């Protein structure tokens, strides 16, 4: 059985058959893959920290014809983000990122842009960037990569531009201006509109100034609801992010 290999980020795992784990890998190009890591649920195992959340590694595995899942043989760590991801003030943000990716990204989707996006978030977090901004940046861009992010400063009905605020459509496909609104009640505030536009021109190393806690909560709730609406699921991780709810 020839070995295959993938460069990937670990985005989740769970115990399988007492001593093994099923590991979810976000590959750099070939979508999300699930593989069996034999013996990895034991206290001491040969994979060590390779299987920690968001570890970037080169994973070598083989496939048997009579089994659906490939089996992990060995791996090499490329970049460890353990200290950053496991920090108490950041861990639940990364749980949310992993949950969104696993629930929202379709099977066989080309994950190269998402891989680069998450790497950028990890690297900026490692350099000390605030997770409050990084999680919002990630949410805007994963919607944009999926082709689902609306034009934040443009009315979806009359197409008026340069809106200072907008009312979110019930299907989360856009915002409307005051003249076009009917029963819409959720408002995307000015700083939220400006932040979404800012993400088009800046990467995660940039700094968006002047967003209040209320502004960040406002855009977080809208983006979360939009992801849940289009993905037809509920996210569990946000319950642990009291600062954004």
- What is the structure's pLDDT at 3? 81
Mean pLDDT on 219-237: 97
Supply the mean pLDDT for the chain. 93
- Which of 19, 46, 80 lies at the terminal end of a domain, its last residue? 80
What would the DSSP string read from start to end of 176-223? Answer: E-TTT-SS---EE-HHHHHHHHHHHH--TTS------HHHHHHHHHHH
- What is the structure's pLDDT at 18? 82
- What is the structure's pLDDT at 1? 55
My answer on whether 73 and 98 are in the same domain is no
Mean pLDDT on 154-170: 96
Q: How far apart are CA 8 and CA 25, in angstroms?
A: 6
My answer on whether 26 and 103 are in the same domain is no
* pLDDT-based confidence at residue 63 (cuts at 50, 70, 90): confident
Neighbours of 172 (CB within 10 A): 19
Number of compact structural domains in the chain: 2
My answer on whether 104 and 194 are in the same domain is yes
- What is the structure's pLDDT at 11? 97
Q: What CATH number does the domain containing 72 carry?
A: 2.40.50.140
Contact 35, 54 (CB under 8 A): no
My answer on whether 109 and 221 are in the same domain is yes
Q: H or E segment at 5?
A: strand 4-16
My answer on whether 177 and 159 are in the same domain is yes
My answer on whether 49 and 116 are in the same domain is no
* pLDDT-based confidence at residue 108 (cuts at 50, 70, 90): confident
* pLDDT-based confidence at residue 66 (cuts at 50, 70, 90): low
My answer on whether 109 and 47 are in the same domain is no
User: Is the confidence at residue 88, as pLDDT, over 90?
Assistant: yes
* Residue 215 burial (10 A CB sphere; 0-12, 13-18, 19+): middle
Looking at per-residue pLDDT, the higher value among 54 and 70 belongs to 54
User: Is the confidence at residue 47, as pLDDT, over 60?
Assistant: yes
- Which of 61, 80, 99 lies at the terminal end of a domain, its last residue? 80
User: Is the confidence at residue 166, as pLDDT, over 60?
Assistant: yes
* pLDDT-based confidence at residue 127 (cuts at 50, 70, 90): very high
My answer on whether 160 and 58 are in the same domain is no
My answer on whether 72 and 118 are in the same domain is no
**Residue 48: which domain range?**
4-80
My answer on whether 117 and 185 are in the same domain is yes
3-class SS at 173?
Answer: coil
What would the DSSP string read from start to end of 132-158? Answer: HHHHHHHHHHHHHHTT----TTSBTTT
My answer on whether 53 and 161 are in the same domain is no
My answer on whether 75 and 96 are in the same domain is no
Q: What CATH number does the domain containing 125 carry?
A: 1.20.1440.120
Mean pLDDT on 26-40: 91
Q: What is the pTM of this model?
A: 0.94
Mean pLDDT on 173-191: 96
């Amino acid at each position: 059985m020839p070995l295959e290999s993938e460069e990937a980020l670990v985005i989740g795992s769970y115990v399988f058959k007492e001593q093994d784990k099923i590991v979810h890998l976000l590959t750099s190009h070939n979508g999300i893959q699930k593989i069996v890591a034999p013996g990895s649920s034991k206290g001491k195992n040969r994979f060590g920290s390779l299987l920690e959340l968001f570890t970037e590694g080169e994973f070598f595995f083989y496939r048997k014809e009579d089994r659906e899942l490939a089996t992990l043989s060995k791996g090499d760590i490329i970049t460890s983000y353990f200290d950053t991801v496991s920090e108490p003030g950041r861990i639940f943000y990364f749980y949310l990122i992993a949950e969104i990716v696993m629930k929202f990204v379709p099977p066989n989707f080309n994950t190269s842009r998402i891989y680069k996006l998450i790497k950028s978030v990890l690297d900026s977090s490692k350099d000390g960037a605030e997770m409050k901004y990084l999680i919002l940046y990630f949410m805007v861009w994963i919607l944009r990569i999926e082709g689902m992010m609306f034009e934040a400063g443009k009315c979806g009905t009359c197409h008026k531009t340069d809106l200072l605020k907008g009312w979110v459509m019930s299907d989360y496909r856009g915002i409307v201006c005051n003249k076009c609104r009917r029963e819409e009640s959720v408002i995307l505030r000015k700083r939220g509109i400006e932040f979404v536009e800012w993400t088009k021109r800046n990467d995660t190393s940039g700094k968006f100034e002047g967003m209040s806690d209320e502004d960040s909560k406002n855009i977080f709730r809208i983006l979360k609801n939009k992801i849940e609406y289009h993905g037809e699921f509920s996210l569990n991780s946000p319950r642990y992010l009291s600062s954004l709810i």
